[in-house]
Amino acid sequence: MNEDVPSPDTSRSNLPTRRDRELVPLPQFPKRSAEDHKGSFGKALLVGGSRGMSGSITLSGMAALRGGAGLVFLAVPDPILEVVAAAEPSYLTVPLIADVHGKISSDARTQLMEQCQAADAVGIGPGLGQSAGLTALVHWVYNRHEGPLVLDADALNALASQTDCLENPGGPRVLTPHPGEFSRLMGSNSQTIQANRLEIARQFAKRYGVVLVLKGHQTVISDGERTVLNRTGNAGMATGGTGDVLTGLITALIAQGLPPFEAAQLGAYVHGLAGDLAAAELGPISLIASDLIRFLPAAIRHGALAGRSE
């Protein structure tokens, strides 16, 4: 391990071993050269936010920046645009038509698709909220957008309301549910899923042709053919907003050219390691989602080393 990166005191055994990486090697971060510019590292678009939930999409945006995307755009309802824009000057914001409750309106369909088509990767869901219009909008984007799409939070709840939508993805899809969200997608219960996480995740990914990131202790990543357990992370990450960070990070990695499965695997590893580094310094009780943003650079530096052949 790089001596510049502090090792967590209690979670060293959770780090992927060399044998883990030989079975399904940890992907490498995209290489960079002196001639590269911001356009070389992709455009990530994150869609979400609503009145009272502007923090979620903000966390995703900052994670996408720290994850290396060249350009990061946040598409949010117009009423919260100024709040979101003020949180971080390094990303760009796009106002979308809002409904009377401060959520993205179904009337924003044309605006949203224009933004999606201009992006290299799209993440949708953090802070999105729920409404009939949003459910229809998420289904439409899921079935129509041809580029890579990462779905989390209320975007997953929208899919769960009518799972027939899952049968016709318009392009590569990464779903990042926690056990509760996954139980709604499956029409099952969390206890049944947790008892057989690996096989159920693999079957779901294979059936629907998606990459599934089933979050929790030892997050499961599967595309139906390859299935890996992530061994970074700790109980301190059981706090609101950490999933939003993961969404932004995976979206950024796809925007830089990593295939969806590899982006999900590397994103989960780095996300968990940032949590381990944060917990080692702050303790798991006091850890909050924004701490992950602060520790992402050190985790990414370690991840870049871990991805090299030994």
At 249-267, the pLDDT tens digits run: 999 999 999 999 999 999 9
Distance CA 150, CA 216 (A): 18
**Which of 150, 85, 106, 101 is CA-nearest to residue 124?**
150
**Given this model, what pLDDT does residue 307 score?**
59
Distance CA 90, CA 259 (A): 25
**Given this model, what pLDDT does residue 7 score?**
41
**Given this model, what pLDDT does residue 303 score?**
76
**Given this model, what pLDDT does residue 23 score?**
67
**Given this model, what pLDDT does residue 254 score?**
98
Provide the token pair at 42.
């992709």
What CATH number does the domain located at 39-302 have? 3.40.1190.20
Q: Which amino acid is at 53?
A: M
**Which residues of the chain register pLDDT less than 50?**
1-22, 309-310
**Given this model, what pLDDT does residue 308 score?**
52
Domain boundaries, the chain: 39-302
- Say what the pTM is: 0.92
> What value does the mean pLDDT of the chain take?
92
**Given this model, what pLDDT does residue 309 score?**
37
